[in-house]
Amino acid sequence: MNTVFVGGSRHISRLSAEVKERLNNVMKNGYDVIVGDANGVDKAVQKHLFESAYEKVTVFCSGEHYRNNLGKWPTQHVKPPQNAKGFQFYAAKDREMATRADFGLMIWDGKSAGTILNVLRLARAGKISVLFNVPKKEAINISTAQWDDFLSQCTTDLRADLRARATPDEWEPKTINQQPSFFEAPELPPATTVPEAPISTSEVDLAATINAALAAADPMSFVDALGTLARMRGMTQVAKDAGLARESLYRSLSSGGNPEFATVLKVMAAIGLRLEANVVSTK
């Protein structure tokens, strides 16, 4: 029996006619549906299935308590990793659904990373996802072979967000991009001695942007540039070298972040930059 993982963005609360038609086809074929318990697409999908009196549904949730189960269907409780919080807490159920499913139907708002991360998880397992882009009203099939092309068309911010949220096994940078581009530098493999990464022209440009932001006393531009450079080097490796938690570091260096000065110094040291004072002439 085929099992369909249906998921999507939390910012979508109503399903389009096209999405409902695809869900109707799922029900017509008698497939088993697994869906999460979040607000947004999860809740909207549950509502459509409930109103259609469809019974072959299982609701997955992280932890002991679900947030939404409109049809009172069987619930699969997934235990998150110890001390997991926020995104990583709720990601536990998504990883389990990607493992259980035969293919996926993902309903996307065109920008959320969580939905695309589920597509990645399914692709890594050799499973096909139908990704329905709601703003563009288009659906594409994404398999393992098609993932690279899809990722190359994603925005810089989305790619950085995906990389920060994914586990190393999910991301597998060496299979995604053999020739690193500006925003896709592969994680260095664990080793006793870590070779120094070559400095690209883009990194030099970013360092210049950081210096310009410092000279202009522009903290937002400084944090944006530092965050971009950290993501280029690999947020996991930078966090490890700086002795910081990856999730908190990603938040601190995201747009609008406000990292502590100690964090800034640690990150700069980890990526091979140094902060120094120069006397400015007042004449």
Task: Give residue-wise pLDDT tens across range 225-266.
Answer: 788 788 777 778 888 888 888 778 877 887 667 888 888 899
pTM above 0.75, yes or no: no
Q: Tokens 């389009």 correspond to what residue?
A: 16
CA–CA dist 277, 187 (Å, integer): 32
Cα distance from N-terminal residue to C-terminal residue, the chain: 80
CA proximity to 173, closest of 184, 162, 165: 184
Residue 163: half-sphere exposure toward Cβ, Cα within 13 Å: 30
Q: Where are the domains of the chain?
A: 3-176, 181-283
Residue 208: half-sphere exposure toward Cβ, Cα within 13 Å: 7
Sheet holding 138-142, edge to edge: 75-78, 57-62, 32-35, 3-8, 103-108, 129-133, 138-142
CA–CA dist 45, 39 (Å, integer): 10
Cβ atoms 232, 202 nearer than 8 A: yes
Residue 177 has pLDDT above 50, yes or no: no
CA–CA dist 187, 202 (Å, integer): 17
Kindly state the average pLDDT of the residues 6-29. 92
**What confidence category does residue 148 fall into, taking pLDDT thresholds of 50, 70 and 90?**
confident
Q: What is the pLDDT of residue 281?
A: 60
Exposure of 206 by Cβ count < 10 A (0-12 exposed, 13-18 middle, 19+ buried)? buried
Phi first, then psi: give them for residue 215, nearest 5 degrees: -65, -30
The alpha carbon of residue 189 and the mean position of all alpha carbons in its chain are separated, in whole angstroms, by: 21
The radius of gyration of the chain's CA atoms, rounded to the nearest angstrom, is 21
Pick the CATH number of 3-176 from 3.40.50, 3.40.1440, 1.10.10, 3.30.70: 3.40.50
User: Mapping DSSP to helix (H, G, I), strand (E, B) and coil, where does residue 36 land?
Assistant: coil
**What confidence category does residue 202 fall into, taking pLDDT thresholds of 50, 70 and 90?**
low
Supply the mean pLDDT for the chain: 81
